[in-house]
């Protein structure tokens, strides 16, 4: 029995047939008007959508077509990681200009590889013509108790997965006409959604989480304001990749690492369970000071420092 319904004739459906052939077992149940998915009893449906647009989120000359597909898919799945959710399905809406038609298969290979790497499945999508390559990826997941940004409590510690600064360093090199080093480029081109990490953290007492898409400086502010708390970041504790300062790491976006609040976590047990991925305590959650609202405070060598401004979503890479 076919895992997909048989598609009708036409060039658009020929393109879809080609995508399905490439995806193999990474796609399932495609071809009806809508996908039908089972959510495990006792779990909640967790849904997010994310767009990756040529000349806004990436430039064609920076990445291979496979990397464009991988990166867009991992960026979308990262939001499920931040909720502590398990992926159920992925919906892919592609805008494909004529000049990209020959590379569509390679973009799709990257999407399929990322979906497979996270144990998800492509369950539907849409292909349309347009001026720029764009991937809009909707991810569906489930979790018994999804993590929110809003749950951090006074007395919690802030923990961060991985080390920051790679994507920012890659972007800085490209924007100044240079070439990033291989490690920085890999962090930009081949991010990993921290799906397993998110589930572990949710199961070990995390009270709040967010994935780092804007950069730590901006994303910790989202968590602080959603939770109505004061968050202090110890800049000297923030793990940075080689050659990157803490201040540069704070504004490095599209990291897709997780920032979580929790009363206490066993960082060694976390690392052992995730192939050596670091989990580092980088700050504290407190009730807001009298007369003040939620805020984020930086601290370095016992001295309060201003955190750099967050990434602006409307600042294009052009």
Residue ranges that bind Mg ion, judged by CB under 5 A: 79, 211
* Of 123, 94, 105, residue with least CA distance to 26: 123
Cβ nearer to Mg ion, comparing 31 with 84: 84
Cβ nearer to Mg ion, comparing 109 with 211: 211
Q: Containing H/E element for 165?
A: none
Q: Is 42 left (phi over 0), alpha (psi -120 to 50) or beta?
A: left
Cβ nearer to Mg ion, comparing 153 with 222: 222
CA dist., res. 7 & res. 17, Å (int): 8
Tell me the closest approach of the beta carbon of residue 30 to Mg ion, in angstroms: 26
Q: In what order do the strands lie in the sheet with 44-53?
A: 44-53, 134-143, 86-95, 122-128
Tell me the closest approach of the beta carbon of residue 299 to Mg ion, in angstroms: 25
Tell me the closest approach of the beta carbon of residue 23 to Mg ion, in angstroms: 25
Strands 157-161, 258-262: pairing kind: antiparallel
CB-CB contact of 26 with 90 (8 Å): no
Alpha-carbon Rg for the chain, nearest whole angstrom, is 20
Cβ nearer to Mg ion, comparing 79 with 254: 79
Cβ nearer to Mg ion, comparing 51 with 286: 51
- List, in sequence order, the alpha helices (H) in the chain: 11-23, 65-82, 104-117, 166-175, 182-189, 195-203, 216-227, 246-250, 267-273
Tell me the closest approach of the beta carbon of residue 151 to Mg ion, in angstroms: 15
Tell me the closest approach of the beta carbon of residue 255 to Mg ion, in angstroms: 11
Which residues on neighbouring strands pair with residue 122, listed in sequence order? 27, 90
Tell me the closest approach of the beta carbon of residue 178 to Mg ion, in angstroms: 29
Cβ nearer to Mg ion, comparing 66 with 211: 211
């Amino acid at each position: 029995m076919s895992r997909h319904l048989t598609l009708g004739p036409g060039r658009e459906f020929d393109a879809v047939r080609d995508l399905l052939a490439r995806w193999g077992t990474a796609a399932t149940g495609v071809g009806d008007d809508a996908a039908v998915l089972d959510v495990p009893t006792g779990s909640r449906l967790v849904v997010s959508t994310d767009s990756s647009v040529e000349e806004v989120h990436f430039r064609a000359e920076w990445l291979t077509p496979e990397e464009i597909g991988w990166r867009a898919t991992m960026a979308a799945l990262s939001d499920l990681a931040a909720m502590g959710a398990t992926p159920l399905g992925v919906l892919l809406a592609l805008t494909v200009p004529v000049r990209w038609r020959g590379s569509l298969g390679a973009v799709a290979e990257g999407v399929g590889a990322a979906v497979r790497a996270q144990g998800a499945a492509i369950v539907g999508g849409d292909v349309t013509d347009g001026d720029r390559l764009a991937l809009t990826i909707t991810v569906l997941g489930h979790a018994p108790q999804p993590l929110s940004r809003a749950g951090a409590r006074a007395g919690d510690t802030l923990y961060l997965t991985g080390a920051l600064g790679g994507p920012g360093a890659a972007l800085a090199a490209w924007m100044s006409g240079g070439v990033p080093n291989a490690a920085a480029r890999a962090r930009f081109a081949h991010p990993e959604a921290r799906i397993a990490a998110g589930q572990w953290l949710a199961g070990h007492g995390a009270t709040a989480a967010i994935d780092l898409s804007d950069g730590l400086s901006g994303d910790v502010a989202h968590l602080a304001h959603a939770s109505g708390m004061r968050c202090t970041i110890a800049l000297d504790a923030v793990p940075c990749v080689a050659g990157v300062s803490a201040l540069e790491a704070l504004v490095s976006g599209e990291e897709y690492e997780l920032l979580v609040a929790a009363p206490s976590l066993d960082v060694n047990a976390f690392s052992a369970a995730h192939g050596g991925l670091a989990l580092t305590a980088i700050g504290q959650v407190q009730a807001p000071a009298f007369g003040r609202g939620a805020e984020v405070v930086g601290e370095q060598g016992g001295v309060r420092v201003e955190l750099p401004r967050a990434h602006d979503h409307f600042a294009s890479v052009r």
